[in-house]
Structure 1
Amino acid sequence: MAPWSSGLPAGIPVAVLGRLPSHADRVRFATLPWLALPDGTFFSFPGSSAFRFPGAARYHGSCDDWLVFELGDDEDGGGYLLLNPFSGDTTRLPSLSCVRHVAAREPYGRVTLGIADDERAPSETTLRKMVMCPRQVVVAIVGDQRRGKIAVCRPGADCWLISAHDPWKEFRDIAFYDGKVFAVDDRGRLNARAVREYTCTGEPMVSVAGAAQRCHMPSTWYLVESGGRLLMVHRVLWSDATTEFTVSKADLTSSRWVDVPSVGGDTALFVGRWSSVALCVSRYAMPGNRIHFLDDDAFSRHFGGYPFSGYPSSQYGLKAQEDIDPREIRVTNGPMR
């Protein structure tokens, strides 16, 4: 699941750069951030004309260079299709109608008819967020807008793997950082999950974890890796419909969240329910120390009819704040139970 540029023949990037004597042109040859709309329209930053990719319309979500499409049951068994709109590459992920619940003492697990067979499962379940990990492992949050579980698979696999004993939690985001998958819930609780393989089958697995304080206003959380740090972006929607953000970094040594008043004068964070990334924006003549966010359905569980279509994009400027005592976090590492 490498970036599209990795498919270029060796020497092509060097040949292109060799024909760009201007430093400005060389900078423009670098990877650009893109905003993709559900109708297949793409925009690059800091501003450009719209680019149309008709094949990218009506996508379900995104991950790195991939757009995720949900297939109907009548479309070759359902599941999810991953499409790279730039290279045209595709790969498949299994349907949630086939889930293997892995028990602690039963590494082969059991295959059920679907995730809904779990009596604790939400009535409607879908793929909410996914990340790509090394060794072709996909880790995802599956569930509804409120509760979810961590599921793993490999592209082309027949089913998802889910812990039979892992409870349904209010997960808000996941990110791959420092060799582990980190998940944050609606209380700001961070769960560290090691990605491993069953020695007998070679199938991927993750460990479990977590605990913290609840925010009383409607809020959500995003995890972003930036400059070797794991950042947690907390987004609060106040009663007057204004949005406020705070940023913290994870100190895994002391198990504490430390407030970050600035993400850097040349860095901007792009956060969304499906994808979050930190980029150096000085090369694009864009202001740094900003948070760009999508007005997606992050708060639909709080407000009925909260708009999802359109995906308008906004930005939030971080201001210098007084230092305050870092908040405690609990990061737990443990085996799958």
Structure 2
Amino acid sequence: MDPFSEITLTLPNLSSFCLVDEPVGIINGGNVLDEDMAGPLLQMDTVISLRKVIRCSELLIAAIIDIGPLCTVAYCQPGSTTWLVSGLGSKGSVIDMMFYEGMLYVIDEFNDLLAINVRQDNDNGKLRVSRIERLLDAAPMSLS
């Protein structure tokens, strides 16, 4: 439930997930998904837990999830039955995220800031990641 609007949405069961269709590479960065990680991500007996959930728009819910040893981003559409899991966690754990002006912004464990463009596919209506861009590489940490 959104505490401000009091809108309640039913999310897919955490045991129902698959890899999201996303670009192979990150603009200003490396590959999104290590080929060796695809197998473990799709193991149906892998334990998944939610860390953070945000309603980005009427068509997009994003979550930070732990899936086995990885901490990554997952997406779903309200009313869908499946979470779409990103391969971002294979490169470093996702620490936090926010949605602003149509883009999902993610900070990873290396303090990199990534901008992710998640859109509804015009052909089939399913979610897909059309662009991932590294905006900041190892942003400085405050020690205060």
Q: Same fold (TM over 0.5)?
A: yes
Give the alignment partner of residue 96 of structure 1, picking from 14, 18, 34. Answer: 14
| Deviation for aligned residue 1:156 | 1.7
Name the structure 2 match of 1:208.
132
Within 5 Å, give how 1:249-264 maps onto structure 2.
none
Report sequence identity in percent: 26
Q: Secondary structure at the match of 2:9?
A: strand
Q: Could you tell me whether the CA contact under 8 Å between 2:93 and 2:108 is conserved in 1?
A: yes
Q: Secondary structure at the match of 1:91?
A: coil
Q: Which residue of 2 aligns with 1:131?
A: 54
- Tell me if the contact between 2:21 and 2:128 (Cα under 8 Å) persists in the aligned partners: no
| 1:172 maps onto 2:89 in alignment | no
Aligned counterparts of 1:104 and 1:90: Cα–Cα separation in 2: 28
TM-score for the superposition, normalised by structure 2: 0.66
Q: Is the CA contact 1:146–1:170 (under 8 Å) kept in the aligned structure 2?
A: no
Q: Tell me the residue number matched to 1:152.
A: 75
Matched residue type, 1:194 = N
TM-score, scaled to structure 1: 0.31
In the alignment of these two chains, the number of paired residues is: 124
How far apart, CA to CA, are the structure 2 residues paired with 1:143 and 1:149?
A: 6
Give deviations 1:241-271, integer Å, cap 9, x for gaps. xxx4xxxxxxxxxxxxxxxxxxxxxxxxxxx
Gaps of 5+ in 2: 24-37
Matches within 5 A, 1:225-264: 244=144
Q: 1:171 to 1:100 in 2, by over 3 A?
A: same
What are the ranges of 5 or more consecutive residues in structure 1 without an aligned counterpart? 1-62, 67-83, 106-116, 216-233, 237-243, 245-337
SS of the counterpart of 1:97?
coil
Counterpart contact for 1:180–1:194, Cα < 8 Å: yes
The DSSP-based 3-state class of the residue aligned with 2:20 is: strand
Hey, what's the Cα distance between the residues in 1 that align with 2:15 and 2:68? 18
Distance 1:104 1:192, change over 3 A: closer
Displacement of 1:196: 0.9
Change (3 A) 1:145 1:128: farther
**Greater than 6 Å deviation, 4+ residue runs:** none
Cα pair 1:166 1:208 within 8 Å, conserved = no
Report the aligned-residue RMSD. Answer: 3.4
